[in-house]
Amino acid sequence: MKIILVLCVFLTAMPAFAGTFKDNFDDGDLDGWTTFGKDWKVENGKLTCSWSGINEGAILTIGNSSWIDYTFEYDGIVLEKLSDNYYLGHVMRYDKQSAFFLYTAFHAPPWNNPVIGFIVNDQNFFIQGRQFGPELNKWYHLKMVMQGKEAKFYIDDNLEVTYQHDLIPESGSVGILFGGCMAEFDNVIITGSNVPDGGSIGFAIASKRKLTTTWGEIRRGK
């Protein structure tokens, strides 16, 4: 009886959809991702892209407007510098139509710091972390945590920048952002409410119907 009671309390406390999406790109495809026209591709089990632009970064996203609070992490490496400035980063709560999103970036010299900020009505709000930038040919583990109006940016598990602002967007997809270089990415993990279990790495899915529904929603970009 006690066991049943404890289980009931536990299940009641769980969010309706709290899941984990993982993609290690070992399946060779970009299923579920939106690429916005840049030359993103999967090679040798890794995501890769070259983009020399800086002001307009290359963005690849997943998710939809029901995604609110989540943790997004991946491994990234700069293989070749294509501009004086280059960076690796994320977009969070992204909405292509309004270009209203939060981002982080890890800049090379001379900018040389992790930043976190957001863009609203063509205005750019941001703050900077300590002075250091990504070295060439070195893997970094980048992580962003979104909770309400607070964003945290970690590099190799060190908390680099925290930012809070009332104008931070309410919800939206997540994605990788970079510019000024040729880069590779791997081992994406996204966890949060309304994030479906899925991706290229096998999962114990509680319900087949749930998987079908959520992947259908992702593919339609809803």
Task: Measure the CA angle with vertex 93, ends 121 and 38; round to 5°.
Answer: 85
Shortest Å, Cβ 190 to Ca ion: 16
Tokens 């060779």 locate to 28
Which residue, 24 or 83, is less far from Ca ion as judged by CB? Answer: 24
Alpha helices in 14-161 (DSSP H): none
- Contacts with Ca ion by CB under 5 A lie at 24-26, 45, 186
Shortest Å, Cβ 23 to Ca ion: 8
Shortest Å, Cβ 80 to Ca ion: 20
Which residue, 22 or 81, is less far from Ca ion as judged by CB? Answer: 22
Which residue, 118 or 185, is less far from Ca ion as judged by CB? Answer: 185
**CB proximity list for 32: less than 8 A, separation 6 or greater:** 21, 23, 62, 198, 199, 215, 218, 219
Which residue, 24 or 193, is less far from Ca ion as judged by CB? Answer: 24
Residue of minimal CB distance from Ca ion? 45
Shortest Å, Cβ 24 to Ca ion: 4
